[in-house]
Amino acid sequence: MTFQFDRHGGGFVIEVGVCSPKGFIHSWGEKIPPNKVTAHHLNDRLRLKYSDGDWFRYDKENVTEGIYGNVVDEAMRHLYEAEEYWESFQ
C-alpha cells in the first residue's frame, strides 16, 4: 500500500499492489528486492477510488470543520477495495 501526496498539498491517493516474495523485476531488467517494492513499481496495481475521483482532498473550497477527520473516514471506507484486491491473488 502506497500513499502519494499531492506535491502542491491538499490531497493524496492510495494505491495497492502485490508482488512475489522474490521482489519485482522491471521490463528493462532492474530488480527491486521485496523489502523495497512499492505499488509505484508494479505494472498491475489498484488505486482506491474516492467518490469525487482518485484523490482524497482536504483542501476543497468551503472547507468544513473536521475536514481532516472526514477525509480519513472516507479513506477508511475504501479499504475494503484493497482487501478484495489482495484476496483475488490468493
Residue matched to cell numbers 482524497: 56
- Cβ atoms of 3 and 12 within 8 Å: the answer is yes
Residue 60: the pLDDT is 73
Question: Would you kindly state where each structural domain of the chain is located, as residue ranges?
Answer: 2-87
Distance CA 20, CA 33 (A): 10
- Cβ atoms of 83 and 38 within 8 Å: the answer is no
Residue 31: the pLDDT is 95
- Stretch 2-10: mean pLDDT: 92
pTM for this one? 0.79
Model confidence over 19-72: pLDDT tens digits? 989 999 998 999 999 999 999 899 889 999 877 778 998 887 666 788 888 889
Residue 61: the pLDDT is 66
Sign of the C-alpha dihedral computed for residues 39, 34, 28 and 87 taken in this order: negative
